[in-house]
Chains A and B, each alone.
Chain A
Amino acid sequence: MEETARQRELILAFESSCDETSVAVVENGDKILSNVIASQINSQKRFGGVVPEVASRHHVEQVTLCAEEAMTQAGVSYADLTAVAVTYGPGLVGALLIGVSAAKAVAFAHQLPLVPVNHMAGHIYAARLVKPLTYPLLALLVSGGHTEIVYMQAAGKFEIIGDTRDDAAGEAFDKVGRVLNLAYPAGKKIDDLAKQGQDTFHFPRAMMRENNYDFSFSGLKSAFINTVHNAQQRGEALVPADLAASFQASVIDVIVAKTMRAVKEYGVNQLVMAGGVAANSGLRARFQQEIAAQAPELDFVVPPLRLCGDNGAMIGAAAHVFYAQGIRGDGHLNAQPGLSFAYMTPERRATFSK
């Protein structure tokens, strides 16, 4: 009985990097006991995007409510907890500071270890809540703030092999959504619209054939806006469904082609896709199709929708790994809005090339 109690690792995890306040209790890095998420979308859609000061204000309103509900739903007490974890970056600095301040206060009050977590590591480890991860693996992170491919040789080891040079994929979705007069956030609406249309506009596939794993979506965004504006000037009406389908096809073509090439070059057996844009049904379907054709052995893991967006459980899952590695934060822990994994060095990169 005592043995079981000692083996039960419980992490209380805080996430507040953007417009969701979330607190979760995760057992042993893979079991969600609670995952309370308060979304500000209803507020932020007034402004067509996330206003940082508004986001920070909502986080203060929500943080202890979410924490209380997370503890209650999990049915645990502070004495049961192993550690407190928190996202400290990347994200909006004012928003991050609420989770960081609250997590530090709980850790201090109950003399618990504090585990700082990189938000992007959280997105990857959302997959651990679905099934065990097998290394080496590649993770494709696609969200409103990021589009990057990360190589993981082992648990808790992250190297970026490709990143966006300008806009993130999710950002492009939101900007295009605005041109199509779709309410923020536009990702789901474009995805739905795209299903009813055809790729008739053949927008550019930026950097698709370049010998790297980087992305660029600003050219696509401009091409899209120009197409719509030129048509407006000619008084010509374009079919929104075809515009959405053409835009989405360009994004998907580039992401899937480059990711599949990376899968082959790096010889991984598992591919994790995470982040808000991982919810896109067109992207998921294309990956499944290409994997079946090109790499049927590849284990493709996409967390369920609720775990693709920002949430505390993914932070708790990542914290399990960092806790075991001895990573701890102290009272000085601060928000790091520009936090990023390191790029893979050219020397290491060379060891993978054929």
Chain B
Amino acid sequence: MLVLAIDTSNRALTVALATPQQLLGEVTLNVKQTHSDGLMPALTYLFKATKKVPADLDRVVVAQGPGSYTGIRIAVTTAKTLAWTLNKALVGISSLAVIASNVLEQGRLIVPLFDARRNAVFTGAYQWQEGRLVNILADRHVALGDWLEQLAATKKPVTFVGDTAVFSDQLTAALGGRAEIASAACALPRGSQLAALGSQLTPVTNVHSFVPTYLRMTEAEANWLKEHPANEGHEPYVEEI
């Protein structure tokens, strides 16, 4: 089984080609760039360097979000279009799980953090159980203070990974000695990890309806629903004309 993995959720861009047995190649860039500019050249190089062609693929695995809305849309659109047009399997993985999987410590809660601004985060809690990364607390968009209270209540040791630098004071203040911060290297998503995570899962049944996990409604829609709780008279939102 040949797996292509794609993650452009945040600043880094990472793509990999792998079989369940071994990694064939990975391209990871960690520079400020537009992913629309960088993604396809990285894929082109990856296939060429590994002497593969897109038709050789069996499965496309994509980091589905949360993350930058534009970033996750580019990865998801590219992945779902490849899967659809080549008639291959498609698997979506949490972008938070991708960096959580860089932390190999057993027994601790692994808590990835993406800075969502205004002291809020995209986050969740993971744990290794029998060699598999298991989601313990679902991915969410949450005020950091509320989240830290919830984590403190678990009484478990926690390893934070991701955008930890800006929040480090708050993390240690809330959890004291139970908090550890993973090395900066762990915050970088790796296509190889994504491929490994995605190899184990069952593919989506409908590629067309596959969309990013934004975890946040748009402000316009949230305001609309506040004023129109019954959401009357507008669905279906998109119609063929």
Chain A contacts to B: CB under 8 angstroms: 20-21, 36-43, 45-47, 51, 53-54, 56-58, 60-65, 67-69, 78, 93-94, 97-98, 100-102, 104-106, 108-111, 306, 330-335
* B34 proximal to A (CB < 8 A): yes
Give every chain A residue within 8 A of B40 (Cβ-Cβ): 104-105, 108, 330-333
Instruction: Indicate if the CB atoms of A47 and B207 lie closer than 8 Å.
Output: no
Chain A residue with the shortest CB-CB distance to B55 = A109
Q: Looking at the assembled complex, report how far the CB atom of A105 sits from the nearest CB atom of chain B, in whole angstroms.
A: 4
User: What are the nearest 6 A-B pairs in CB distance?
Assistant: A331-B40, A43-B237, A105-B81, A101-B77, A51-B220, A331-B41
Instruction: Indicate if the CB atoms of A46 and B224 lie closer than 8 Å.
Output: yes
Instruction: Indicate if the CB atoms of B36 and A53 lie closer than 8 Å.
Output: no
Instruction: Indicate if the CB atoms of A64 and B208 lie closer than 8 Å.
Output: yes
Q: Number of B residues contacting the other chain (C-beta, 8 Å)?
A: 44
Cα-based distance from A43 to B224 in the complex (angstroms): 11
Q: A101-B36, A108-B43 are in contact. Are A43 and B234 (CB under 8 A)?
A: yes
Cα-based distance from A61 to B212 in the complex (angstroms): 9
Which residues of B1-45 have CB atoms within 8 Å of chain A's CB atoms?
34, 36-37, 39-41, 43-44
Instruction: Indicate if the CB atoms of A57 and B214 lie closer than 8 Å.
Output: yes
Q: Can you list 22 contacts pairing A with B, beta carbon distance less than 8 Å?
A: A21-B238, A36-B240, A38-B240, A39-B238, A39-B241, A42-B235, A46-B234, A51-B220, A53-B219, A54-B218, A57-B214, A58-B237, A94-B69, A94-B70, A97-B77, A101-B77, A101-B78, A102-B81, A106-B85, A108-B43, A109-B86, A331-B44
* B59 proximal to A (CB < 8 A): no
Give every chain B residue within 8 A of A43 (Cβ-Cβ): 234, 237-238
Q: Looking at the assembled complex, report how far the CB atom of A241 sits from the nearest CB atom of chain B, in whole angstroms.
A: 26
Instruction: Indicate if the CB atoms of B212 and A40 lie closer than 8 Å.
Output: no
Cα-based distance from A20 to B241 in the complex (angstroms): 10
Instruction: Indicate if the CB atoms of B77 and A334 lie closer than 8 Å.
Output: no
Contact partner of B81 among A51, A63, A69, A111, CB < 8 A?
A: A63
Kindly list 7 other residue pairs between chains A and B, CB separation below 8 angstroms, not including A60-B212, A61-B209, A306-B241.
A46-B228, A60-B80, A94-B73, A101-B39, A105-B81, A333-B36, A333-B40
Cα-based distance from A47 to B228 in the complex (angstroms): 12
Chain A residue with the shortest CB-CB distance to B220 = A51
Contact partner of B37 among A21, A45, A60, A332, CB < 8 A?
A: A332
Instruction: Indicate if the CB atoms of B239 and A38 lie closer than 8 Å.
Output: yes
Chain A residue with the shortest CB-CB distance to B86 = A109
Which residues of B50-100 have CB atoms within 8 Å of chain A's CB atoms?
53-55, 69-70, 73-74, 76-78, 80-82, 84-86
Instruction: Indicate if the CB atoms of A108 and B234 lie closer than 8 Å.
Output: no
Q: Which of A21, A36, A104 has the most CB of B within 10 A?
A: A104
Q: Looking at the assembled complex, report how far the CB atom of B79 sits from the nearest CB atom of chain A, in whole angstroms.
A: 8
Give every chain B residue within 8 A of A68 (Cβ-Cβ): 84, 208
Give every chain A residue within 8 A of B69 (Cβ-Cβ): 53, 56, 94
